C-alpha cells in the first residue's frame, strides 16, 4: 500500500457496504516460488490494511469471504493453516480492531467448527458488539446456498411454532431469516485475481450489487486498488430494476 496522502472520496460517493472475495493467494505465492500458505499469510496482512483503509474511507460495512464451505476439500495441511491464521488473526488483532471501533460479525455454519474456533468467533462478536465505526462481517465456513437453506429452516420453524404465517414469507421477510439480517445488502462486491464469478458468496444479498473484478492477486491489493474499485462503482448507474438511477441503499 502506498503511503502517499489520499484525496478523500466524498462521503456520498462511498458505498455503504463492500463485499470482498479475497482470491489469488495461492497464485501469488506460486508466481514467487513460495508455498501457498505464504500467500495466505500475506493475505492476512492485506486484510489488516484493507480494514484500516475501509474505515478511513468511510465504508460502514465490509464482508470478507475468508473460508468457504467448499474450502474443506483442500489438502488438510492447507485447511489447518487457514484455521491457524484465523485463530492468530482473532488473538492478535481483536484488541486493535476493538480499539478502532470495529464491530465483528460472523456469518456461516458454526456448528461444524472446532470448539476453540467457535469460541473465538463468539468472543470477537461479544467484545465488539457495541462498536459503530465499521462492521466487519467475516464469512467463515460460509456458503450462500447453505445460508439460504438455513434461512428456510428458520422460517419453517417460525411457521411451525405459529410465529409466522406461510403467506407472510416474502423476499423482505425472508431476508430476516438469513445469518445477519440486520446488515444491509452489499452495494459493491470486489473479487481479486481476475476470476469473474460469485462462488457461492452472498447470492441473495447481491441481487442489486455492483461487481468489480480486479486482476490483482489478493496479497497485492491495496488502498489505491480499493479506491479505484470505488471509482468504478461511482460510474455505474444503479437502477434497482427501475428506470431512474438511485444512490445505493
Ligand atoms: C483465496 O485464495 C483465498 C482463500 C481461500 C482464503 C482467504 C484467506 C485469507 C486472506 C487469509 C485468512 C483470513 C482470515 C481472517 C483467517 P486461493 O487460495 O483460492 O488462491 P488461488 O485461487 O490463487 O489458489
Ligand 1 atom with the smallest distance to the CA of 195 is: 22
Looking at residue 1, its pLDDT comes to 45
State in Å: Cα 39 to ligand 1 middle: 8
Please count the other Cβ atoms lying within 10 Å of the Cβ belonging to residue 115. Answer: 7
Pocket test for ligand 1, best of 20, 40, 107 (most atoms within 8 A of CB): 40
Q: Nearest-CA neighbor of 65 among 28, 118, 18?
A: 18
What are the catalytic residues? Answer: 23, 71
Looking at residue 13, its pLDDT comes to 85
Looking at residue 2, its pLDDT comes to 47
Q: Nearest-CA neighbor of 247 among 202, 208, 193?
A: 208
Q: What is the CATH number of domain 13-143+185-233?
A: 3.40.1180.10
C-alpha distances out from residue 162 to 155, 170, 171, Å:
11, 17, 19
Please count the other Cβ atoms lying within 10 Å of the Cβ belonging to residue 242. Answer: 8
> Rounded to whole angstroms, how far apart are CA atoms 72 and 109?
13
Nearest CA to ligand 1 atom 18: 26
pTM value? Answer: 0.93
> Rounded to whole angstroms, how far apart are CA atoms 148 and 203?
9
Nearest CA to ligand 1 atom 10: 43
Nearest CA to ligand 1 atom 16: 86
User: For 58, left (φ over 0), alpha (ψ -120 to 50), or beta?
Assistant: left
Looking at residue 18, its pLDDT comes to 98
Find where cell 464482508 sits: 63
Nearest CA to ligand 1 atom 24: 26
State in Å: Cα 244 to ligand 1 middle: 38
Ligand 1 atom with the smallest distance to the CA of 88 is: 16
Q: Retrieve residue 160's grid coordinates.
A: 411451525
> Rounded to whole angstroms, how far apart are CA atoms 108 and 144?
8
Ligand 1 atom with the smallest distance to the CA of 29 is: 23
Residue 188, exposed/middle/buried by CB under 10 A (0-12, 13-18, 19+)?
buried
**Tens of pLDDT, residue by residue, the chain (249 residues):** 444 556 677 766 899 999 999 999 999 999 999 999 999 999 999 999 999 999 999 999 999 999 999 999 999 999 999 999 999 999 999 999 999 999 999 999 999 899 999 999 999 999 999 999 999 999 999 999 999 999 999 999 999 999 999 999 999 999 999 999 999 999 999 999 999 999 999 999 999 999 999 999 999 999 999 999 999 999 887 777 887 776 544
Residues, the chain, total? 249
State in Å: Cα 99 to ligand 1 middle: 26
Please count the other Cβ atoms lying within 10 Å of the Cβ belonging to residue 88. Answer: 12
Looking at residue 212, its pLDDT comes to 98
Please count the other Cβ atoms lying within 10 Å of the Cβ belonging to residue 48. Answer: 14
Any idea what DSSP says for residue 32?
T
Q: Do residues 206 and 147 make contact, with C-beta atoms less than 8 angstroms apart?
A: no
> Rounded to whole angstroms, how far apart are CA atoms 189 and 34?
29
Amino acid at each position: 500500500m502506498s503511503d502517499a496522502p489520499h484525496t478523500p472520496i466524498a462521503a456520498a460517493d462511498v458505498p455503504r457496504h463492500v463485499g470482498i472475495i479475497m482470491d489469488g493467494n495461492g497464485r501469488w505465492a506460486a508466481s514467487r516460488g513460495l508455498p501457498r500458505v505464504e500467500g495466505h499469510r500475506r493475505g492476512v496482512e492485506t486484510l489488516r490494511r484493507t480494514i484500516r483503509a475501509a474505515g478511513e474511507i468511510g465504508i460502514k460495512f465490509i464482508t470478507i469471504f475468508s473460508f468457504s464451505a467448499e474450502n474443506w476439500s483442500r489438502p488438510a495441511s492447507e485447511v489447518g493453516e487457514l484455521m491457524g491464521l484465523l485463530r492468530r488473526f482473532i488473538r492478535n488483532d481483536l484488541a486493535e480492531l476493538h480499539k478502532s471501533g470495529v464491530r465483528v460479525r460472523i456469518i456461516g455454519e458454526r456448528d461444524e467448527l472446532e470448539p476453540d474456533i467457535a469460541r473465538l468467533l463468539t468472543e470477537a462478536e461479544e467484545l465488539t458488539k457495541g462498536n459503530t465505526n465499521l462492521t466487519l462481517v467475516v464469512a467463515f465456513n460460509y456458503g450462500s446456498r447453505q445460508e439460504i437453506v438455513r434461512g428456510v429452516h428458520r422460517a419453517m420453524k417460525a411457521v411451525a411454532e405459529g410465529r409466522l404465517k406461510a403467506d407472510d414469507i416474502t423476499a423482505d421477510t425472508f431476508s430476516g431469516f438469513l445469518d445477519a439480517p440486520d446488515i444491509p445488502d452489499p452495494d459493491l462486491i470486489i473479487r481479486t485475481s481476475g476470476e469473474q464469478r460469485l462462488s457461492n458468496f452472498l447470492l441473495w444479498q447481491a441481487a442489486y450489487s455492483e461487481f468489480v473484478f480486479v486482476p490483482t492477486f489478493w496479497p497485492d491489493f491495496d488502498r489505491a486498488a480499493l479506491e479505484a474499485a470505488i471509482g468504478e462503482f461511482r460510474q455505474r448507474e444503479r437502477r434497482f430494476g427501475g428506470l431512474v438511477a438511485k444512490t445505493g441503499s
